[in-house]
Amino acid sequence: MTPADVHEGYAEAITEQRAQVLKDAYEQHPERFVNKIPEPPILSTEVWINQPPEDEMKDT
């Protein structure tokens, strides 16, 4: 997921498409997935490069 995808609101649609592709792949070749049915990663709710200290975040 690119930052632009998330910022522009495409992340959920992309995740749904990935889920469908993974489901189709599992249905066609279940032997490739030995542990479980594959799922796309869960989207993060926050991402930081340099997270400010908690006390600075409370001020905003």
Q: What is the DSSP string of 17-53?
A: HHHHHHHHHHHH-GGG-SSS---PPPPPS---SSPPP
Q: How confident is the model at residue 53 (pLDDT cuts 50, 70, 90)?
A: confident
User: Computed from CA positions of residues 46, 12, 5, 24, in that sequence, does the dihedral angle turn out positive or negative?
Assistant: positive
Residue in this structure with the two tokens 């490069």, named with its chain if needed: 49
Number of domains in the chain: 1
**What amino acid occupies position 43?**
L
- For 10-43, write each residue's pLDDT tens digit: 999 999 999 999 999 999 999 999 888 899 999 8
pTM: 0.70
Q: Distances in Å between the alpha carbon of 26 and those of 21, 32, 38, 47?
A: 9, 8, 7, 30
Q: What is the pLDDT of residue 58?
A: 72
Residue 27 structural domain: 3-58
